[in-house]
Amino acid sequence: MSTKTEQKARPSREAVVDPEPEALARFPELQLAVQDGQLVTTFLRTLVRGFIVGRELENTAMQMLKEATANRATPPTTREADETVQRRLKLARGHKKAIVEHWNICGILSRLHKRVTPMRDRGADAADEAVLIWNTLHNTYVEDERRRAQAEEDRRRREAEDRERAERQKILDEMEAEALRVEAESPQLSDREEHFVELMATGFNAPEAAARAAGFKDPVKTSLRLIALPKILQAIEAKRKAAEMRKQAEAVKATPLDVQIEEVKPNIATGITHDRTTHSCEILDERAVLEAYRSGGFGVPPELFSVSQTVANQLARERREQLNRIPGLRYRKETRAI
């Protein structure tokens, strides 16, 4: 359903009628425009015939010019020849007057244009100002609403990540508890036996070398004895199992958080206008841009100096705010409701 404001903004067919005497009295320029408009109407009624006659007049004038051009180099030398020239002169002047009178519609259209153009410009300027104000209000709301939606989405993501982080810590705590339990269930060993088990569980493949590093006097005989004891084998397995659990826990801890949340869309009305965002680049200092290009440190393409503004606008669409890092350029963004 249209609002009253929208109904007033739409030009109705009833508004296109003959002006009333009161309107003519209030607006003198309207009376003049009506008079010119009536002349235009009369011209349009005979438009086809008018163009045919105009072409005939033009052809006759071109023939007169052709004849005059042919005689330009031979001035008259007798009275009779000069009389012929004067008759041709009078005929050409009369023909010009006929052409001007025939096409007097041009002056009428020019006067009519001068009278209606200021009215058009005043109305268009006022409408442009209104568009600017409403568009600014619309853009302000859109930006605020987008920021609100983004902030709400960020809040939900943080909450989801906190929950995910807490759940992950719970799993890590359970894995560490299991590793401690496995280690606690290992048989009681002496310090040197504990050292031997630690070495075997963490990379020593040769029992003799592990026994020597653990401080046993006869590493060969001792290693054969230790590696055959069930409690040593059980302790090595427990150590390896606990180490594997902690390795898995580190992998879990290093995995990035992956949370899925519903996108929060800004509450913006659709179907009334369509937002179109344009990206352009303002060249503030051509010399500074050229120096930036010569330095090679800002990624200024050479095409910028041959295509200029077109390439600059293309860069604005591609790089957005990064353009502000280039001396002499400034990124501009404008969104309009159309």
| pLDDT tens string 251-260 | 888 888 888 8
Q: Which helix (H) or strand (E) holds 204?
A: none
**pLDDT range class, residue 17, cuts 50, 70, 90:** very low
Is the predicted pLDDT of residue 9 greater than 50, yes or no?
no
CB contact at 8 A, 198 and 239:
yes
Residue 161 maps to a domain:
no
CA distances from 55 to 59, 90, 96, 105, 309 (A): 6, 21, 13, 15, 46
Q: Identify the pLDDT of residue 65.
A: 93
Q: Report which of residues 25 and 164 the model is more confident about.
A: 164
Residue 282 maps to a domain:
yes
d(CA 334, CA 145): 17
CA distances from 184 to 30, 234, 235, 242, 250 (A): 105, 12, 10, 10, 21
**pLDDT range class, residue 16, cuts 50, 70, 90:** very low
Is the predicted pLDDT of residue 186 greater than 90, yes or no?
no
Longest alpha-carbon distance in the chain:
153
Q: Which of 292, 275, 293, 295 is nearest to 327 (CA)?
A: 292
Final residue in a domain of this structure, among 107, 130, 153: 130
Model confidence pLDDT, tens digit, residues 24-74: 455 555 555 566 666 667 666 766 777 788 889 999 999 999 999 999 889
Phi/psi for 275 (5° steps) reads -80, 130
Is the predicted pLDDT of residue 282 greater than 70, yes or no?
yes
Written as six digits, the tokens of 70 are 């042919």
Is the predicted pLDDT of residue 242 greater than 50, yes or no?
yes
Model confidence pLDDT, tens digit, residues 212-236: 888 888 888 888 888 888 888 888 8
Is the predicted pLDDT of residue 114 greater than 80, yes or no?
no
d(CA 298, CA 326): 6
Q: What is the b/e burial string over 45-66, where b = at least 16 CB atoms within 10 angstroms of the residue's CB?
A: eeeeeeeeeeeebeeeeeeeee
Percentage of residues in the chain having pLDDT higher than 70 = 83
Instruction: Please report where in the chains the tokens 């310090």 appear, as a residue.
Output: 191
Residue 281's Cβ-count burial label (10 Å; 0-12, 13-18, 19+) is buried
Q: Which of 39, 44, 37, 42 is nearest to 18 (CA)?
A: 37
Phi/psi for 173 (5° steps) reads -65, -40
Written as six digits, the tokens of 151 are 């902030």
**Containing structural domain, residue 301:** 275-337
Domains contained in the chain, number: 2
The upper half-sphere exposure of residue 222, i.e. CA atoms within 13 Å in the direction of its Cβ, equals 16
Final residue in a domain of this structure, among 111, 130, 149: 130
DSSP track, 129-190: HHHHHHHHHHHHHHHHHHHHHHHHHHHHHHHHHHHHHHHHHHHHHHHHHHHHHHHHTSPP--
Residue 93 maps to a domain:
yes
Is the pTM higher than 0.75? The answer reads no
Q: Which of 59, 99, 77 is nearest to 85 (CA)?
A: 77
Q: Identify the pLDDT of residue 11.
A: 47
Residue 76 maps to a domain:
yes
Q: Identify the pLDDT of residue 8.
A: 47
Written as six digits, the tokens of 244 are 């594997």
d(CA 70, CA 63): 11
Q: Identify the pLDDT of residue 156.
A: 92
Q: Identify the pLDDT of residue 158.
A: 92
Is the predicted pLDDT of residue 336 greater than 70, yes or no?
no
Average pLDDT of span 245-270: 85
**pLDDT range class, residue 2, cuts 50, 70, 90:** very low
Final residue in a domain of this structure, among 110, 130, 150: 130
Average pLDDT of span 296-301: 85
Q: Identify the pLDDT of residue 229.
A: 87
Is the predicted pLDDT of residue 327 greater than 90, yes or no?
no
Percentage of residues in the chain having pLDDT higher than 90 = 14
